[in-house]
Structure 1
């Protein structure tokens, strides 16, 4: 009789923690590593900010797209499907560059056209921060994937429960808030967690725009001290610490949700 996956002893975690502790010891005992860590630590806040804001925005947009995809309106369904297919077909790094250097200037130009009619001062394209251009790009990219996750979760709720809620006189919003979404959320939580971890890693792509996250500071530091081995060891350690720690927290929450079901 096989054991459930949750009962397996996490030997992988033992190996990773052992390797991480060894690397931490090297970092703490080496002036070079400590100097690199000091410089890179300034980018951790930016990395977390980009990941959290972009993922939160992508969840809201993705949920809206999922509801559009399940709408009775054929127009809304087609609009949602078109968006999802287009965004999933464009590499994230290409979308970052497109938003930063095509969409953002176009938005600024449109904004100036409107505000010009109102007699307001124009906005310069450089006033539109590259950080927020990157956040918008990641939001657009991930919202397409999250839309499919939300759609699958909403479809997993049995129709009979929705009909029972209707028989009790619940409004559409009440049915969604009290019946449909809570059940769908328990189903899709693992997938949402995986995408959040992926977002933390993909936030490193904002370095192509010069946003001073951990990866960008790593590139600048390595170019200045030529300590590529030490610098990228620390970069990897920072990301592994964030992603593995986040994965363990999400796994614990997943187990808790299953126990409450």
Structure 2
């Protein structure tokens, strides 16, 4: 065992010792907090109604179901999970295609990536929903399932996909978010593949491995370790991007928060609660990915 790799107590204490810049930043933050508190006390005349806001947030629906806001949180999580699945699956395929030396694969992949990355997300969502989604669902023969489903919904279907009346909204939102993020995931995967030294590929060939096993056993583990931080950041961005689909009437957390804030007049309280929920979701993801990165080392 190499003891030189283990930091000594002196090194650990030195690592955590605050610097002069840290002290300056802390003092600056304290001054800003004091100034904001002072200005708000003399310049903002707003009566906070937190008790009413929390009562509204946690009030069950008329039929005794989950509170409307909680349903919005669940819808956001559901959108995020399925959006990540689509983004990682499609993004990996696009990244492999763009990295390929065969132009039949690389050119279409590059065109898609450039289109998605250079169109504003809001414009892309509107284009997809109004010009593509309305045509895509009938084309795939999903109209009866997504728009007119009258059968019984099992417990696992409700857990994975929500109420049947919102399946069309869920699919539209998942495809929008997944397509948007897949272009960025593709570039992350492509960059990870390009960073693999040429000697690794040659080593796989020298062992007689096929192209599939070269990717699976030699390249993929190294790429996954290299791109994990970037994928973590993209996953967190995807969670925040789910708020965009509220503009096409998908009832996730931002859409629900907008309705509740407008109907109750608790503008500041509701939006602060919405922001706190997004923060907790993203922070949880960040901690999970950090733990994963630590285990990979």
TM-score, normalised to structure 2, is 0.71
1:33 aligns with 2:62: no
- Structure 1 residues 123 and 176, CA gap change in structure 2 (3 angstroms): same
1:236 aligns with 2:275: yes
CA distance in 1, matches of 2:183, 2:283: 25
Any idea what SS the aligned residue of 2:108 has?
helix
Number of the residue aligned with 1:76? 105
- Contact preservation (8 Å) 1:43, 1:213: yes
1:62 aligns with 2:91: yes
Number of the residue aligned with 2:286? 247
- Structure 1 residues 35 and 140, CA gap change in structure 2 (3 angstroms): same
- Contact preservation (8 Å) 1:154, 1:180: yes
CA distance in 1, matches of 2:136, 2:16: 52
- Structure 1 residues 36 and 9, CA gap change in structure 2 (3 angstroms): farther
CA distance in 1, matches of 2:252, 2:182: 22
CA distance in 1, matches of 2:131, 2:144: 16
Structure 1 vs Structure 2 CA RMSD: 2.9
Number of the residue aligned with 1:197? 236
Number of the residue aligned with 1:43? 72
1:230 to partner: Cα distance: 1.1
CA distance in 2, matches of 1:108, 1:53: 18
- Contact preservation (8 Å) 1:36, 1:230: no
Larger Rg: 2
1:241 to partner: Cα distance: 0.9
- Contact preservation (8 Å) 1:153, 1:187: yes
1:8 to partner: Cα distance: 5.3
- Structure 1 residues 8 and 85, CA gap change in structure 2 (3 angstroms): farther
Higher helix share: 1
Unmatched runs of 5 consecutive residues or more in structure 2: 1-10, 30-47, 59-66, 149-166
1:105 aligns with 2:108: no
Any idea what SS the aligned residue of 1:252 has?
helix
- Structure 1 residues 74 and 193, CA gap change in structure 2 (3 angstroms): same
CA distance in 2, matches of 1:87, 1:240: 26
- Superposition pairs for residues 17-28 of structure 1, below 5 Å? none
Query: In terms of mean alpha carbon deviation, does 246-255 or 224-233 score higher?
Result: 246-255
Number of the residue aligned with 2:116? 87
Query: In terms of mean alpha carbon deviation, does 241-250 or 42-51 score higher?
Result: 241-250
- Contact preservation (8 Å) 1:46, 1:212: yes
Per-residue deviation, residues 9-57 of structure 1 (Å, max 9, x unmatched) = 9999xx9xxxxxxxxxxx9x82432322554222111101111111111
Number of the residue aligned with 1:118? none
TM-score, normalised to structure 1, is 0.80
Unmatched runs of 5 consecutive residues or more in structure 1: 16-26, 116-121
Number of the residue aligned with 1:150? 189
- Structure 1 residues 47 and 124, CA gap change in structure 2 (3 angstroms): closer
- Contact preservation (8 Å) 1:55, 1:199: yes
- Contact preservation (8 Å) 1:105, 1:125: no
